[in-house]
Amino acid sequence: MKARNVNIIAIQERYLDIITKQIKEVLGDTINIHPITVKDLQSDTVKSGDMVVISSSQIKGLVTQLIPNDCPCIVAKRDINYMNTKKLLNLPPGQELLVVNDNKMNAEETVQSLRETIFEHNYVAYTPEDNIPQSINYIVTPGERQLLPRGLTNVIDIGPRLLDISTFEKIVKLLDINYPISQIVKRYFKACVSLSGRNKEEIQSNKDIRNVAQYYFEDIISVSKSMKETVQLAKCYSEDSHAIHIHIEGEPGTGKSMFAQAIHNYSTNAERSFISINCSSSDFNTIEKLLFGSEEGEEISYGLFELAENGTVCIEEIGELPLSIQKQLFHVLEKGKFRRLSGSELHSFHCRVITTSSISCKKLVEKELFRRDLYELLAKYSLNIPALSERKDDLLPLIHNVKKRIKRNDIEFTNEVIEFFKEYNWDNNVKHLYNVITYLAFLNGDHIGIESLPFHLRSNYDQQKFNTVFEANNNVNKIIAEIEKHGFLDENIKILDAFYEGKKERISYGRKALKVYLEKKGLILSEQQLRMRLEVLQDLGLIIVRQGRAGSTISRQGEEFLREFYKTGFNV
């Protein structure tokens, strides 16, 4: 009797799980199955006489060196799961389809499978070295979304390729399993149905369909000192092999997600997956399943830590997680191992984890809403993205960047609008600014004034203007009240006028010269009276009194007071 222990060997754990389930569906009642990844394969892993199924010819040379010579060995053939091809079948004939797989050989094998059955279309195997044909209508991929080229958005994922039926025929023959071919065929199609539709829809709905980081550090506007320093620190983290947990904090709209993607793209694993989940947009049960995966009977659902495969997992708004999930996450990050929900086996993962939060996790710790141990773990490599109000030097470059992106370099903003933008409190930071500039760019005309601003901004501008006038009036009233405590408001105003006119002519006055000038203007004061008036004005910061020949002059605060005094209509 031939051995019925079957070792399945593959490179990727994710793919190994899929074909293991497929073999269980077809032959699980007759054989003992042992899945092994190449990295876990040792010279004593496979026992003498056991059967070995190798997932690809690419690893055959390595595997055969590590298994006993008497082991029957099969190099599996793979085929697409035709249960996942409904979208392809519904396309009009004659479509140009770009086929993307993890390497050229696998892409060509996938093309061959498609041509043999769904022959109505034209298929092109994608290679990164070649230019993408201009006429492509859709991208087709067997579960390799993270590898899709940029710029094409019509994606049809037909799910991972499975072992083809001829592989099962070889296994049955070598193990002398007494099953008729008709039974094998029935079970084979049952397995295809069972494994169809397993394209991680839940995860894809949370992020870009291709699991690709779109932004680079070059996309981040960093003219201001604060942003330059933040970008430089982020680059250091990107290149630091020890920075496997990075935490990013910042107000809403500051660009935390952009920084996370830039860090990924600056790292040595830039070609790997970047998968993101937002903890504020899903219920906690769903988040837990998406993070760690689950096992429900024979059904395996892969979590982010498995899907990332040496790439990056970005957990946005981590502060929203309940303490129970925070506890799980802490142990996973600390040990580098996780267990699927309802599963018993520990799985290792190798990916960078970036977390973000719009709320200070330190403050959440103080309120006992965030675990201290998790915070301390994340705080080792942390970034704080400055708010737009803290990086005003970036405002104009940000505006120019939006104009360039939407191809409206022709529009101009009045100085009044620019000054208002600089003073405005952008509640949603850069995101808010981008939305406003985009809105203004699509208005008729190329000259944008205050009257063109959205209603909520115009209202804010009117309120800001009122507040400025009110504050100025209030300030004038306070100064007048202080002067009137000593009396003679009109005399003090005439003294300030004298200094103001002298400053325009670049003339400063000593006390004697000022007394002579005032007498010419009809104001007669004794030496003592003039000294008292000057002391009051100096105490209020309205004049600058200098000793000797330098003389005295009006201060900037004094000039501002005079302007507002006359603007508000006071008469003396």
Identify the CATH number of the domain in which residue 398 sits: 1.10.8.60
Same domain assignment for residues 405 and 424: yes
Let me know if residue 184 belongs to a domain: yes
Q: Is residue 209 part of a domain?
A: no
- Report the C-alpha gap between 19 and 16 in whole angstroms: 5
Domain encompassing residue 125: 86-157
> Same domain for 235 and 364?
yes
Which of helix, strand or coil describes residue 283? coil
Residue 290 is assigned to a structural domain of this protein: yes
Q: Residue 39: helix, strand or coil by DSSP?
A: helix
Domains identified in the chain, total number: 5
CATH code where residue 506 lies: 1.10.10.10
CATH number at residue 357: 3.40.50.300
- Within a domain: residue 322? yes
> For 131, which DSSP code?
P
DSSP assignment string, 166-229: HHHHHHHHHTT----HHHHHHHHHHHHHHHTT-S-HHHHHHS-TT------GGGS---SHHHHH
Strand 162-163 and strand 352-357: the pairing is: unpaired
Residues 341 and 443 in one domain: no
Do 229 and 338 reside in the same domain of the chain? Answer: yes
Kindly state whether residue 73 falls inside one of the protein's structural domains: yes
CB 21 within 8 A of CB 314: no
pLDDT at residue 548, as a whole number: 61
Q: What is the pLDDT of residue 199?
A: 44
CB 490 within 8 A of CB 572: yes
Q: Which two tokens stand for residue 495?
A: 């003294």
Alpha-carbon distance of 468 to 476, in angstroms, equals 12
Q: Which of 406, 421, 450 finishes a domain?
A: 450
Same domain, 349 and 267: yes
- Pair (321, 299) in one structural domain: yes
- Kindly state whether residues 333 and 346 are assigned to the same domain: yes
323, 406, 408, 336: which is closest to 371 by C-alpha? 323
DSSP per-residue codes, 309-336: SSSEEEEETGGGS-HHHHHHHHHHHHHT
Q: How many CA atoms lie within 13 A of 9 on its CB side?
A: 28
Q: How far apart, in whole angstroms, are the C-alpha atoms of residue 326 and residue 105?
A: 42
Phi, psi of 450, rounded to the nearest 5 degrees: -55, -35
In a domain, 508, yes or no: yes
- pLDDT tens digits for the chain (572 residues)? 444 899 999 877 778 889 999 999 999 889 999 999 877 788 888 999 999 999 988 788 878 888 999 999 999 999 999 899 988 998 999 999 999 887 788 889 999 999 999 999 999 998 766 677 778 888 899 987 767 765 556 788 898 999 999 999 999 999 989 888 899 999 999 999 888 864 444 333 333 334 578 889 999 999 999 999 999 999 999 999 899 999 999 999 899 999 999 999 999 888 888 988 888 877 788 888 888 988 887 777 888 888 887 899 999 999 999 999 999 999 999 999 999 998 888 888 889 999 999 999 999 999 999 999 999 999 999 999 999 989 989 999 998 988 887 777 888 888 888 888 888 888 778 888 887 887 777 665 678 888 777 766 765 555 555 444 445 556 777 788 888 777 788 888 888 888 888 888 778 788 888 888 888 888 888 888 888 888 888 888 888 877 666 678 888 888 888 887 776 655 44
CATH number, domain containing residue 66 = 3.40.50
Task: Report long-range pairs for 165-168 (Cβ below 8 Å, ≥24 apart).
Answer: 165/79, 166/77, 167/53, 167/74, 167/76, 167/77, 168/23, 168/26, 168/27
Q: Is residue 207 a part of any domain in this protein?
A: no
Q: Which two tokens stand for residue 544?
A: 């600058």
- In this structure, the answer to whether residues 227 and 178 fall within a common structural domain is no
User: What whole-number distance in Å separates Cα of residue 572 and Cα of residue 554?
Assistant: 19
Q: Torsions phi, psi of 13, nearest 5?
A: -65, -35
Q: Which two tokens stand for residue 374?
A: 């998790």
Amino acid code (one letter) for 314:
C
Provide the CA 224 distance to its chain's centre, in angstroms. Answer: 21
Is there a single domain that holds both residue 361 and residue 399?
no
Residue type (1 letter), 293 = G
CA distance 357 to 383: 11
| Nearest in space to 248 (alpha carbons), one of 240, 237, 256, 236 | 256
Residues sharing a CB contact under 8 Å with residue 159, sequence separation 6 or more, in sequence order: 81, 84, 142, 143, 195, 196, 197, 198, 199
234 and 323 part of one domain: yes
Task: Please check whether residues 240 and 330 belong to one and the same domain.
Answer: yes
Please check whether residue 513 lies inside any domain of the structure. yes
Give the phi and the psi of residue 58 in degrees, each rounded to 5: -65, -25
Between CA 321 and CA 300 the distance in angstroms is 24
Phi, psi for residue 384 in degrees, rounded to 5: -120, 115
- 566: number of CA atoms within 13 Å, CB side? 9
Is-above-0.85 flag for pTM?
no
**Alpha helices (runs of H) in 442-540, residue ranges in sequence order:** 455-486, 489-504, 511-520, 527-539
Q: Are residues 269 and 354 in the same domain?
A: yes
